[in-house]
Structures are given as structure tokens and as C-alpha cells.
């Protein structure tokens, strides 16, 4: 651990759908306690409104001078102390946070950097470092494999959008590195996926088809559903499934329930989604040579826990490992599932201490 501020701190995870926030107390580099609150992103027109709601929810609106550190994770790129949320029409600036919390140490980071810090806490814990219990996220093994102690790692996090990030070894510690790789171009590897690319380009009008257009909740699940029903011509046996997937608030729950009931469209959509998630996970792992481990996170993945760890696990494995001559290497990489719904929030908290 590096030197950390003592006293109270605030951490936020600003997502496209929800905002998680915590207020905690640090003493001698240890997390003594923390309390959390949640607000809906869509209920707020700007970041000032968000912070007012958060501070009220944390019962901290009268104690700004007591805050010694602030870590804010944002679902979008951070450049020169400013961040624009990719799927939300307002911005966050360090200058505003400095005015709100004078004297506090401010950290504004991409949300995938926060997911990275959550993974780093686990990696450090596995190497015997003492990590405050409150910072360790719930996790489980998705695919087994040996870990290279000083190897690099990667994190993929499907949620409202698709988050991607890396973790590199500096020689003395791990450093999370944010990425906007979810917006890189989708790369089909078979005839069906070529049809998917053509469908999204020509029928749906997407001139640039990114991975986020396919592996996410807001875009991916509806796009895959339309592809399966309109392009492949499959028919659903579940009344109103299309409405639930394309216009509903919880498309993945609708798909999972329908698949459990034997709906062929739901089963096909989920199978495609998991296979494509594995495919892009393998791309990330090759890019960074993730011998230190692969981490799957994100709100959508967490809601799909039973899908990922159940009958579709082989689809994920095959999607990840189907890289020709590099199948043996990818088959050996360990994949950890970060199941904690507060992964990014705990990662932002960990950034204050690690």
C-alpha cells in the first residue's frame, strides 16, 4: 500500500443506469467503515444535481470540510480532468469537485480503472497482502488456469455499454489502465457473424459497428434479438418477448426466463451474446498477454451469472479460445468472475488505499 489520506472519503461509481456512492473512514491506511447509497442516473440533468442527491443520501451534506479524499469513477473517457459519460448527456469536472471539497485529494477516473482497482485488490490479496475486508469484491472462478505473479491482466465489463481495461505490472505494483476498446470495430469470424455485421450496417444503419453494439445491455441484446428474428427468421414462442427485450427495462431477465421455458429465440440470443463476449474477451487477453489473469465484471454480466456459469459456459470458453494457433495459450488463462454489484464502487474506494 502507498501512503493514504486519513479521515473520511467519498467514492462514486457513475454508470449509465445507476450511481453508487459510499462514504468511508480511513485510519492508518485501513478502511474502518463505510456506508452506501444509490441514485438513478436518469433522474438527474447534471453532475451538480447528482452530488446533491448523493450527499443527502450519505447524510454528509453538512460535513464537506471533513472529506479528505474523493474518488469518482465515470463511464466515459477522462481527459485533462474532464469526463463526458458516453451514454449520459452531462459531464464531470475535477474543478467542480475541488470547489465542492476544498483540501480533499481528488481522483477522477474511467470506470474501468475502478474495476481494475477492484481486481488489483484481489490480485494483491492472493499474493498475501493484507487488504481491508470491505474492499474485496465477491468473486468466483469462471475458468481455471495458472497465474503469472507479475503478469498483466485485463478486465471486460458488459453493462449498459461495454467497458474494457488493462492491468499492468510496473515492477513494484499493478496499475489499472483504462481503455475505450468497447468502441473498437466488431470483427466477425464466421458466416453467421458476417450476416450480423451486414444486418447492423445495412438494415439498422450503423456505419460503424463496435463491440458495444453487440456485447452490452442497451445496444447488444436488442440488436441480437432483431438479428435472430428478422435476419435469421426465428420465431419466439414467448408472448411480448420482443417488447420486453427491445423496449423493456430488464431485457436480460426476460430472455433468461424465456430461455428457461424453452424459447428458441431467447436461447439463440443468449448463446450468441455469451459467445461474442468470450470472443472479445479473448481479443483483450491477447492484446495485453493477460498471463496475470482475465476478469469479467459489469452489471449485465452479474445479472447473467447463471447463464455465464451454467449451460452457456462452453460458448464463452470457445469464443475466448478460438484464436487459431493461440488456442493453447488462451486455454490456460484463468478467468475470474467479479460478481459483486459494487465492484466499480469498491474499486474507486480501493484507489484511495492501494
- Residues of CATH 3.30.420.40 domain(s) within the chain? 7-114+343-353
Structure-block grid coordinates of residue 319: 469464443
Q: Is the pLDDT of residue 4 over 70?
A: no
Alpha carbons 274 and 335: distance in angstroms, whole number: 14
- Binned at pLDDT 50, 70 and 90, residue 63 comes out as low
**Range 176-194 average pLDDT:** 95
Determine the Cα–Cα distance for residues 49 and 330; give it in Å rounded to an integer.
45
Residue appearing with cell numbers 469537485: 97
Domain at 182-338, CATH class: alpha beta
**Which pLDDT belongs to residue 81?**
92
Query: Where do you find CATH 3.40.367.20 in the chain?
Result: 182-338
Q: Is the pLDDT of residue 6 over 80?
A: no
Q: What is the tens place of the pLDDT at every residue in 203-239?
A: 888 899 999 999 999 999 999 999 999 999 999 999 9
pLDDT of residue 281: 98
Pick the CATH number of 7-114+343-353 from 3.30.420.40, 2.60.120.10, 3.40.630.10, 3.30.2130.10: 3.30.420.40
- For the residues 302-306, what does the mean pLDDT come to? 92
- Which 3 state secondary structure label does DSSP give 243? helix
Looking at every residue in the chain, the average pLDDT score rounds to 91
DSSP states along 37-76: EEEEGGG-SSHHHHHHHHHHHTT-TT-GGGEEEEEEEESS
How many Å apart are CA 324 and CA 335, to the nearest integer? 19
Q: CA-CA distance, 290 to 147, in Å (whole number)? A: 9
User: All 3 cell numbers of residue 1?
Assistant: 500500500
Contact 258/236 with Cβ under 8 angstroms?
yes
Which residues, 6 or more positions from 103, have their beta carbon under 8 angstroms from its beta carbon? 65, 68
Half-sphere exposure of 77 (CA within 13 A, CB side): 7
pLDDT interval class at 1 (50, 70, 90): very low
Amino acid at each position: 500500500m502507498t501512503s493514504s489520506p486519513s479521515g473520511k472519503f467519498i467514492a462514486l461509481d457513475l454508470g449509465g443506469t445507476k450511481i453508487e456512492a459510499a462514504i468511508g473512514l480511513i485510519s492508518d491506511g485501513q478502511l474502518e467503515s463505510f456506508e452506501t447509497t444509490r441514485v438513478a442516473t436518469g433522474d438527474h440533468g447534471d453532475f451538480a444535481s447528482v452530488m446533491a442527491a448523493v450527499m443527502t443520501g450519505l447524510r454528509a451534506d453538512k460535513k464537506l470540510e471533513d472529506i479528505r479524499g474523493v474518488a469518482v469513477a465515470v463511464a466515459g473517457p477522462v481527459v485533462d480532468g474532464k469526463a463526458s459519460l458516453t451514454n449520459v448527456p452531462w459531464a464531470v469536472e475535477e474543478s467542480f469537485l475541488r470547489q465542492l471539497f476544498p483540501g480533499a485529494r481528488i481522483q477522477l477516473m474511467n470506470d474501468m480503472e475502478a474495476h481494475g482497482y477492484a481486481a488489483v485488490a484481489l490480485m494483491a490479496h492472493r499474493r498475501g497482502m493484507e487488504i481491508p475486508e470491505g474492499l474485496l469484491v465477491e468473486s468466483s472462478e469462471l475458468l481455471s488456469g495458472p497465474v503469472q505473479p507479475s503478469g498483466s491482466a485485463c478486465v471486460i465489463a458488459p453493462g449498459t455499454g461495454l467497458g474494457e481495461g488493462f492491468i499492468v505490472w510496473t515492477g513494484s505494483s499493478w496499475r489499472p489502465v483504462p481503455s475505450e476498446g468497447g468502441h473498437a470495430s466488431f470483427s466477425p469470424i464466421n458466416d453467421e457473424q458476417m450476416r450480423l455485421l451486414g444486418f447492423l450496417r445495412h438494415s439498422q444503419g450503423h456505419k460503424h459497428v463496435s463491440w458495444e453494439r453487440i456485447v452490452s445491455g442497451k445496444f447488444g441484446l436488442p440488436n441480437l434479438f432483431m438479428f435472430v428474428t428478422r435476419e435469421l427468421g426465428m420465431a419466439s414462442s414467448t408472448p411480448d418477448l420482443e417488447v420486453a427485450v427491445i423496449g423493456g427495462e430488464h431485457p436480460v431477465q426476460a430472455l433468461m426466463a424465456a430461455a428457461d421455458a424453452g424459447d428458441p429465440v431467447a436461447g439463440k440470443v443468449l448463446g450468441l451474446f455469451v459467445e461474442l463476449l468470450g470472443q472479445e474477451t479473448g481479443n483483450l487477453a491477447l492484446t495485453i498477454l493477460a498471463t496475470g489473469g482475465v476478469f469479467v465484471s459489469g452489471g449485465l454480466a452479474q445479472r447473467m451469472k447463471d447463464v455465464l456459469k451454467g449451460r452457456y459456459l462452453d460458448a464463452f470458453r470457445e469464443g475466448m479460445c478460438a484464436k487459431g494457433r493461440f488456442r493453447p495459450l488462451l486455454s490456460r488463462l484463468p478467468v475470474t468472475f467479479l460478481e459483486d454489484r459494487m465492484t466499480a464502487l469498491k474499486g474507486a474506494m480501493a484507489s484511495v488505499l492501494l
